[in-house]
Amino acid sequence: MTPPPEELAKVEWDAVVIGTGVGGATLGYALARAGERVLFLERGENYLGNPRALRGDYMETLAASAPDSSEEDNFRNGGRWRGEIFDAAQNRYFRPFLGAGAGGGSALYGMLMERFFPSDFTPRRFHAADTESDLPDRWPILYEDLRPHYEKAEELYRLQSEIPDPCRRGEALRHIQKARSHHLATRHFERFLRWKKIGVYTPAFACEWKDECRFCQSMLCDKDCKNDAARVCLRPALASHGAALLSGFTVDRLEADRGRVTAVNGRGPDGREHRFRGRRVVLAAGALATPLLLLRSRSEHWPRGLANGSGTVGRYLMRHLIDIYFLPSVWNFRKAPQNLKELAWNDYYEVDGVKYGTFQPFGKFPPGGLAVDDLLFEMKQNIPGWAMRGLNLLRPGLSFALEKLFAHSGCAAPIMEDLPQKENRVEEMPAGPDGRERVAVHYRISAYDRTRLKKFRRMIGRALFPYPTIRFPMAETCKMMAHACGTARFGDDPATSVLNKWNRAHEVENLYIVDASFFPSSGGINPSLTIAANALRVAERLIQEKC
C-alpha cells in the first residue's frame, strides 16, 4: 500500500524517477534492487493494480460496453495518452497512439526489442552526403560500451526469438529463448522472401507466449504475459525492493538553483499540490514530455529552461520515417490466435556505405472503425460542417470496407533512420477547449532524407515484387510518434548537447534523463532495448558512485 503523498513528501529519496516507461522503470528497478530509496512519479494510472483497467482489446472497443465511463476515464484505464499533437507543417491536429501510465509506451508496445547495430554509434560516416543535419561523428559511447548492458536487458525482459538475424554477422545474442512456431500465412511469406534471397529472421520479443496469447499490441495485456516495463521492473521494485509509486501525479516543474534540482513540484489526482525531494532526479517522461518539463522549469537561474544552456532542449526531434504495408491474404487474421508479428529483415540497413533501416512486422491492424474515426477527426478541421455531416453518414460503410482489408492483411512497417535537425522540435501549447493536453511538433524532412526515403522505398518494392502489397506512405506525416527521440541529446560538448555520456545534465549535477530524449541519432531500428540497456548502464554508474 503506497503511503499518502504527504508522507512521501517527508522523505528525502535517493532517486525521484519521473515516468515509468522502459527508461525510468528499468533504472528505478536497478537502483531499488541495490538498496536505494526510489520514488516513482507517474502521470497515468498503475494498471497492475487497477480493477477497472481495460485489458485484452482496444480501449475503444472495451469502452463501448461501458457507456457510463467518461472518455477521460477510458483513456486513463486503457493506458493511453488523451492529448493532441499540432503538426505545424500540416497545420492540423491529430491524436497519436501513445502510452500513458505504468510501463509508459511499453504497456502498449508490440514487444519487439532489438539491439542497435555497431554502425548506429558512429552515424556520420554513413551519411557523408548530408549537409543539413547536426549529426555527430559518433555517440559519446560505442556499441562495445553498451554490449554487456544489452545482454542484461535481454535477460531482464526475457526476450524470445527463433530464427537469428543473418545481418548480425555471426554475433551470438545471449539470453534469447526460443519462441513458438509461425502462422501458416507467415510461413508462406517466409518462403517467398527466401526465394527473393532476403535474409529473413524472427525478431526478439519480450513475451511469455502463454496459452491463448493474443499478442496484445496497442492494448493492455490481460494474461500477464507481456514483458513490459511495469511487469518486469516496476512491479518487483514496489513489491520486493521498497520503492514507492505515486500514480495520477502530474509534475508541473522542477525547482533548481544554479547547479542542483532542489524539489519536484506537482499535483495529485485531487488537484492538491505536493513537493518531493531527492538526491537525484531522473527524467523519463518520454521525448515529448521530458523537454517540455525542462522548458516549464524556467527560473532566474535558468531563463531559457532548466539545463538549457545549450539552447537545444526540445530540439533535434527525430521520429523515424515509417510506412505501412498491407499484405493481403486469404486468411482471416482476426480469427488467428497466433502472433502475426513474426518476420523481419535488415538487408537494407546499410547499402553502398549509406544507412537506411529495417523492415519489421507490424502485427494485426486496429479495427477499421478506429481508422475511420481518426480520418474523420482530421478531415473535420479542413472542410465545412455540412460536408462533414455527409461524411459521417458514410462512416459505417467505410468502417466495413477497411475492416475487410485489415482482417485479411498482414502488416509490415519499413523503418528508416531520420537525421537530427535543430529546427525539428517540440513546443508547449495551451490545452484544447475540451481540456485535452496539446503539444506542438515542428518537423520537416530534409532533402537528403527524402532522397534516401525514395531509394529505400524502391529497394523495398523490388524485394516484395511480385508479392501483392498495398503501401500506405505514412513517413511524410507525424502520426507515427512512438519512436520520438533526440530532444535532450547527450554528447561531449555542453555547447551542443544537454547531457554528458552518463546521461547527467552538463549543468545540473543531480539531474539525469534516461528516456529516448538522449539519443543523438535515431538509428534505424526499434529503440526500446537500447533505452533499457542504457538505463542499466547509468544505474550501474550511480550505484558505484554511491559506494
The per-residue pLDDT for range 12-28, each reduced to its tens digit, is: 999 999 999 999 999 99
Cell match 501510465: residue? 101
**Mean pLDDT across the stretch 297-317?**
98
Q: How confident is the model at residue 165 (pLDDT cuts 50, 70, 90)?
A: confident
pLDDT value at 242 more than 70:
yes
Q: What is the rounded CA–CA span in Å between residue 15 and residue 215?
A: 34
pLDDT at residue number 213:
76
Q: Give the domain range for residue 232.
A: 1-139+222-319+420-443+482-547
Residue 517's CB is within 10 A of a number of other CB atoms, namely 33
**Is the residue at 249 inside a domain?**
yes
pLDDT at residue number 277:
98
Residue-wise burial string across 435-462, b where 16 or more C-beta atoms lie within 10 A, e elsewhere: ebbebbbbbebbebbeebbebbbeebee
**Is the residue at 362 inside a domain?**
no
pLDDT at residue number 359:
95
Q: How confident is the model at residue 61 (pLDDT cuts 50, 70, 90)?
A: confident
pLDDT value at 182 more than 90:
no
**Interval 387-412: pLDDT, tens:** 667 666 767 777 777 777 777 677 88
Those residues with Cβ within 8 angstroms of residue 265's Cβ, 6 or more apart along the chain or in another chain: 251, 252, 253, 254, 255, 273, 274, 275
* Pairing status of strand 244-247 against strand 38-42: parallel
Angle at 31 between CA 30 and CA 37, to 5 degrees: 140
pLDDT at residue number 376:
63
Q: What are phi and psi of 377, to 5 degrees?
A: -60, -40
**Is the residue at 375 inside a domain?**
no
**Interval 488-516: pLDDT, tens:** 999 999 999 999 999 999 999 999 999 99
Where residue 242 sits, what CATH number does that domain have?
A: 3.50.50.60
Identify which has the larger pLDDT, 230 or 368.
Answer: 230
pLDDT value at 339 more than 70:
no
**Is the residue at 161 inside a domain?**
no
pLDDT at residue number 546:
72
Question: What's 547's DSSP letter?
Answer: -
Identify which has the larger pLDDT, 133 or 57.
Answer: 133
Distance of alpha carbon 482 from its chain centroid, rounded? 4
Answer for the pair 59, 52: CB distance below 8 angstroms, yes or no. no
**Is the residue at 491 inside a domain?**
yes
pLDDT at residue number 417:
98
Secondary element (H or E) of residue 536 = helix 528-546
For the chain, what percent of residues have pLDDT higher than 90?
A: 65
Secondary element (H or E) of residue 412 = strand 409-416
pLDDT value at 184 more than 70:
no
Cell match 535488415: residue? 346
Mean pLDDT of the chain: 90
Q: What are phi and psi of 412, to 5 degrees?
A: -140, 160
Structural domains counted in the chain: 1
